[in-house]
């Protein structure tokens, strides 16, 4: 069923440094669920902040795949080492377009970036960005107009990578039974903005400030690494 999207060489962490290994990327289906769940377990057991990641159940994967969702798998040495899961929520109440008050007729055209996972030994190869590039192509083919995603405000790596794909922070909200999440959005009909008239950098621990700025209509479009933690650059 599957067709290779990309092949190349990546670096794999070893106890002495790095080794170069071949990888390839392809769309995968339900038959890979045992490997997906196994990889998810490895990553969850390796998190230093458990609140930054929301696991997906096997049932959720199956439900979404049958509704049109897709999984991009990355393989090296015949093993799944990373994946990106995308869905099309359509009329589901969890459609993030509802949180962003998109017009009702646009909700059918929303695509969600769900989870992305890279095995710790293969991080630093830009796999989250690479799979995002293909996800955007798939969403375009599915006639989606809007891409939405939730990301923990503490997840610097994920914020930086997803914002590099033109998604901007529009809202901060409790999701998944009480976890704070930024809601990010990109209108696929528009070229992502690179310049804004007003710019403000807010340290990520300034929780009140960042909520106020979003209420004023600013959007967060860049994550800036600092000596301690990181800041988000907002523009209007
Ligand atoms: C977020 C994630 C997918 C990014 O992986 P990635 O695409 O390999 O990351 P990048 O290639 O952008 O990494 C850039 C740098 O940040 C480092 N880095 C990436 N993720 C890191 C992490 N979770 N912790 C510490 N450092 C990390 C990389 O090692 C690399 O460092 P280098 O430049 O010195 O080599 C990965 O960290 C991950 O699987 N995290 C756990 C699950 C998660 O939070 N998913 C996103 C929300 S669904």
Domain match, 180 and 223 both: no
Among protein residues, the one with the nearest Cα to ligand 1's atom 12 is 126
Prediction pTM value: 0.96
Assess whether the C-beta atom of 32 lies below 6 angstroms from ligand 1: no
Alpha-carbon span 179 to 52, nearest angstrom:
8
Number of domains in the chain: 2
Model confidence pLDDT, tens digit, residues 92-110: 999 999 999 999 999 999 9
- What is the span of the domain harbouring residue 219? 196-236
Domain match, 181 and 200 both: no
Can you tell me whether residue 108 is helix, strand or coil? helix
Report, as an integer, the average pLDDT of 169-198: 93
Domain match, 69 and 149 both: yes
Domain match, 130 and 200 both: no
**pLDDT at site 198:** 95
Domain match, 179 and 214 both: no
> Please, which pLDDT band fits residue 66 given cuts at 50, 70 and 90?
very high
Domain match, 142 and 125 both: yes
**Ordered DSSP codes for 188-232:** TTSPPP---SSEEEEETT-HHHHHHHHHTT-EEEEEEE-SSSEEE
**pLDDT at site 1:** 46
Pick from 49, 55, 124 the residue to mutate for probing ligand 1's pocket: most ligand atoms within 8 Å of its CB. 124
Locate the ligand 1 atom nearest the alpha carbon of residue 155 and give its number.
44
């Amino acid at each position: 069923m599957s067709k290779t999207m990309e092949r190349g060489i990546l670096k794999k962490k070893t106890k002495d440094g790095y080794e170069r290994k071949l990888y390839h990327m392809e769309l995968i289906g339900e038959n890979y669920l045992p490997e997906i769940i196994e990889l998810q377990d490895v990553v969850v057991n390796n998190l230093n902040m458990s609140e930054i990641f929301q696991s997906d159940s096997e049932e959720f994967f199956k439900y979404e795949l049958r509704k049109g969702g897709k999984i991009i798998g990355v393989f090296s040495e015949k093993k799944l080492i990373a994946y990106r899961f995308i869905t099309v929520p359509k009329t589901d109440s969890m459609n993030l377009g509802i949180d962003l008050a998109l017009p009702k007729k646009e909700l059918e055209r929303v695509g969600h970036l769900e989870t992305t996972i890279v095995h710790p030994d293969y991080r630093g190869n830009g796999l989250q960005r690479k799979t995002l590039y293909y996800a955007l192509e798939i969403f375009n083919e599915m006639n989606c107009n809007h891409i939405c995603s939730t990301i923990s405000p503490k997840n610097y790596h994920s914020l930086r990578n997803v914002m590099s794909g033109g998604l901007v922070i529009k809202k901060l909200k409790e999701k998944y039974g009480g976890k704070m999440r930024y809601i990010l959005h990109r209108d696929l009909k528009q070229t992502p903005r690179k310049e804004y008239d007003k710019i403000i950098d807010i340290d990520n621990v300034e929780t009140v400030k960042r909520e106020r700025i979003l209420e004023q209509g600013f959007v967060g479009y860049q994550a800036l690494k600092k000596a301690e933690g990181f800041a988000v650059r907002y523009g209007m």
